[in-house]
């Protein structure tokens, strides 16, 4: 969304981003219309090649959205009814609901101080029915992949990385999405790399898996249906937008890191405010800048009154939603995720936000805490 009020700080401003690349976007969209390549076509094929090359993986299978990507990946890895998949207690519901939709059973694991799955708690969740782990690189910070992959190798489990919020984030210098058997991405408009509608993909080094997922996502094969599949395709218009934006992604991520650093500096030492820490050997891409405070609702109201938009990502840890009441979990089962759900608040961050707006947000936070930011 965009704002005509110069004093307002929107949570994200997609129109401001469009204005920085307007000629490129307009030409890309016009080319799709000229070619009538609305489903599949040149732009989609170019995106699949380009995204795979950028990540350094062999195969990219595009699809309609990031939720479908998770479902397709799990079906491709042969998830069966009764199989258990371990994932984080703190994420958007796509991560867990697709486990159930693909026939598996969700097993939640608590998080650590980075909001990502705590590897030290994973082994205790493994049973003889466990087949896989889905770590989520939440808010743009990579999960701790070395111990996760070590556990997976030791126990013979597959790993799907949920990279929906972590485009080009790095762990020990290696891009996320290149560790497990497969990785999924969302290109929802507000993401670091966002389309102008829904879009997603799965990446993998495995040729057989890539072939299966490509067939499954397109009705089990056009012209010769070797299986019953689903209809999940990236359309040409979204691919054209992504092809343009992909060229700017590294620069936009760097701007996000700079603005996050400015927040860190301005908010440092404010009473009752905890800024997002970055664990060693991890490169955060700050899809979201999430602080913690015990006075969240008061701070949020104060910022709203000042014309500053905020969001809570996410209001409840996943095990405590009605959808998972059947699991019978209690707060003490996930103490970190449960404690965070009432304290987290996402402040505005996007490449075009600028130093003045960050300073205005920080100043308002400082006023609320009784300090000067």
CATH code of the domain covering residue 134 = 3.40.640.10
214 with 109, same domain?
yes
The pLDDT-based confidence of 7 (bands split at 50, 70, 90) is confident
Q: Is the pLDDT of residue 108 over 80?
A: yes
Question: Which domain covers residue 266, as residue numbers?
Answer: 249-369
Q: Is the pLDDT of residue 373 over 60?
A: no
Query: 303 lies in a domain?
Result: yes
Number of domains in the chain: 2
Please give the Cα distance from 62 to 45 (Å, whole number): 9
Q: Which of 192, 227, 246 is the last residue of a domain?
A: 246
Beta bridge partners of 185: 201
Q: Which of 195, 214, 246 is the last residue of a domain?
A: 246
The pLDDT-based confidence of 222 (bands split at 50, 70, 90) is confident
61 with 185, same domain?
yes
211 with 354, same domain?
no
- How large is the average pLDDT for residues 212-229? 93
336 with 292, same domain?
yes
Report the share of the chain in percent with pLDDT over 90.
96
316 with 178, same domain?
no
Q: Is the pLDDT of residue 4 over 60?
A: no
CATH number at residue 301: 3.90.1150.10
242 with 292, same domain?
no
Q: Is the pLDDT of residue 319 over 80?
A: yes
Could you tell me the CA-to-CA distances from 56 to 119, 179, 324 in Å, in that order? 26, 11, 37
235 with 285, same domain?
no
The pLDDT-based confidence of 363 (bands split at 50, 70, 90) is very high
Tell me what pLDDT residue 223 has. 80
The structure's pTM equals 0.96
263 with 322, same domain?
yes
Query: 213 lies in a domain?
Result: yes
Query: 142 lies in a domain?
Result: yes
- Computed over every residue of the chain, the mean pLDDT equals 96
Q: What angle do CA 15, 18, 22 make, to 5 degrees?
A: 135
Q: Is the pLDDT of residue 207 over 50?
A: yes
188 with 253, same domain?
no
173 with 303, same domain?
no
Query: 352 lies in a domain?
Result: yes
The pLDDT-based confidence of 244 (bands split at 50, 70, 90) is very high
């Amino acid at each position: 969304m965009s704002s005509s009020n110069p004093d307002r700080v929107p949570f994200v401003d997609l129109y401001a981003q469009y204005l920085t690349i307007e000629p490129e976007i307009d030409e890309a969209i016009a080319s799709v219309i000229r070619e009538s390549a609305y489903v599949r076509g040149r732009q989609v094929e170019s995106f699949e090649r380009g995204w795979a090359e950028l990540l350094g993986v062999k195969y990219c299978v595009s699809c309609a959205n990031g939720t479908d990507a998770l479902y397709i990946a799990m079906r491709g890895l042969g998830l069966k009814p009764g199989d258990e998949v371990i994932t984080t207690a703190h994420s958007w519901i796509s991560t867990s609901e697709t486990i159930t939709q693909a026939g598996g059973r969700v097993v939640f694991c608590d998080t650590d101080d980075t909001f990502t799955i705590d590897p030290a708690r994973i082994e205790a969740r493994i049973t003889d029915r466990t087949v896989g782990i889905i770590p989520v690189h939440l808010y743009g910070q990579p999960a701790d992949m070395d111990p996760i992959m070590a556990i997976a190798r030791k126990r013979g489990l597959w790993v799907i990385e949920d990279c929906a919020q972590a485009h080009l984030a790095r762990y020990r210098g290696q891009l996320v999405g290149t560790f497990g058997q497969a990785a999924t991405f969302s290109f929802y408009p507000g993401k670091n790399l966002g389309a102008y509608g829904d879009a997603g993909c799965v990446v993998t080094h495995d040729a057989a898996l890539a072939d299966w997922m490509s067939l499954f996502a397109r009705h089990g094969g056009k012209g010769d249906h070797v299986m019953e599949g689903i209809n999940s395709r990236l359309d040409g218009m979204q691919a054209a937008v992504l092809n343009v934006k992909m060229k700017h992604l590294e620069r936009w991520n760097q701007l996000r890191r700079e603005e996050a650093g400015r927040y860190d500096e301005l908010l440092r030492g404010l009473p009752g405010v905890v800024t997002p820490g970055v664990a060693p050997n991890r490169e955060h891409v700050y899809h979201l800048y999430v602080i913690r405070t015990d006075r969240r609702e008061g701070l949020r109201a104060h910022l709203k009154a000042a014309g500053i938009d905020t969001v809570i990502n996410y209001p409840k840890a996943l095990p405590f939603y009605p959808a998972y009441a059947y699991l019978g979990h209690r707060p003490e089962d996930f103490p970190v995720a449960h404690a965070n759900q009432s304290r987290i608040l996402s402040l505005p961050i996007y490449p075009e936000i600028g130093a003045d707006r960050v300073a205005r947000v920080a100043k308002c936070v400082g006023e609320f805490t009784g300090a000067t930011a």
